[in-house]
Amino acid sequence: MTDPVFLIDELPPVGPAVLDGPEGRHAALVRRLGPGETLLLADGAGGQASCVVVAAERDSLRLDVRSVEQVLRPTPTVTVVQALPKGDRGEAAVEMMTEAGVDVVVPWQASRSVTRWKEARGDKALARWRSTGREAAKQSRRLWLPEISDLASTADVLRVLGDVDLALILHEDADEPLAVTPLDRATGSVALVVGPEGGIAPDELNGFVAAGARPVRLGPTVLRTSTAGVAALAILNARTARWT
């Protein structure tokens, strides 16, 4: 059984330590970890500390930190521009993409997005996406938390595409499958654009292509906007060093 991961702001040095606060309560009351059991502390930025439980208190654990190390972020980094899906499918998309290793998720208010993030509703939705990413990172034992950016306009997305080494647009009418797309430019960073249920509008698609992005397709069928991103991530992971 793999060691559970608990996220904290700053890793302790080797030696005695205490895990308290919300993570400590969860470890002691929910996970019911006891003396002799092992766990990992992570700071969400690649740092991890391997620990043994010395004693369990009511809402905290006393630990013996055995080792502390820094793990490099997988390369190339992958940013997914995710058009806002309907209902709670956005949270499902964030959860699956986090488990697959996405580095950055950019919520995109596409022109054909049915869902609209406005004022307090948008703030709450963004908070749910971020909470979902954090919990999915813990579940999948990720040492790097995904960044969930603020809501992006199409103009914002154009800037994202201009800042990466390789930009790809998932589009059902593209001639080239992602499975065979040349990835020689994917040396440091890749961006994937996932459109809404109604598809990417022609003016948006033309703008992305003009910015250097390349349309690709996943296969002969059309995936939901909430599942296309994770499918594309799996292909990229397998074709690059991210899963080696």
List the chain domain ranges.
Answer: 5-70, 77-239
User: b/e per residue, 137-174, with b = 16+ CB within 10 A?
Assistant: bbeeebbbbbebbebbebebbbebbeebebbbbbbbeb
Give the model confidence (pLDDT) of 92-145 as tens digits: 999 999 999 999 999 999 999 988 998 888 999 999 999 999 999 999 999 999
Asked if 55 and 61 count as a contact pair (C-beta separation under 8 A), the reply is: yes
| Tens digits of residue pLDDT in 150-188 | 999 999 999 999 999 999 999 999 999 999 999 988 889
- Rounded to a whole number of angstroms, the CA Rg of the chain reads 20
Confidence at residue 186, expressed as pLDDT on a 0 to 100 scale:
82
CATH superfamily entry for domain 5-70: Hypothetical PUA domain-like; domain 1 (2.40.240.20)
Asked if the domains 5-70 and 77-239 are classified in one and the same CATH topology, the answer is: no
Please determine, for residue 1, whether its predicted confidence score (pLDDT) is greater than 80.
no
- Cα 68 from Cα 83, distance rounded (Å): 38
**How far apart are alpha carbons 244 and 240 in whole angstroms?**
8
Q: Which of 1-5, 91-95, 208-212, 229-233 has the lowest mean pLDDT?
A: 1-5
Q: Strands 77-83, 15-19: parallel, antiparallel or unpaired by DSSP?
A: unpaired
Q: In what order do the strands lie in the sheet with 77-83?
A: 147-148, 104-108, 77-83, 189-194, 166-170, 214-216
- Given strand 15-19, what is the order of strands in its sheet? 5-7, 38-42, 47-56, 61-70, 15-19
- How many CA atoms, within 13 angstroms, populate the side-chain half-sphere of residue 24? 16
pLDDT at 88 over 90: no
CATH superfamily of 77-239: SPOUT methyltransferase, trefoil knot domain (3.40.1280.10)
Q: At what angle do helices 202-210 and 154-162 cross, to 10 degrees?
A: 20
pLDDT at 24: 96
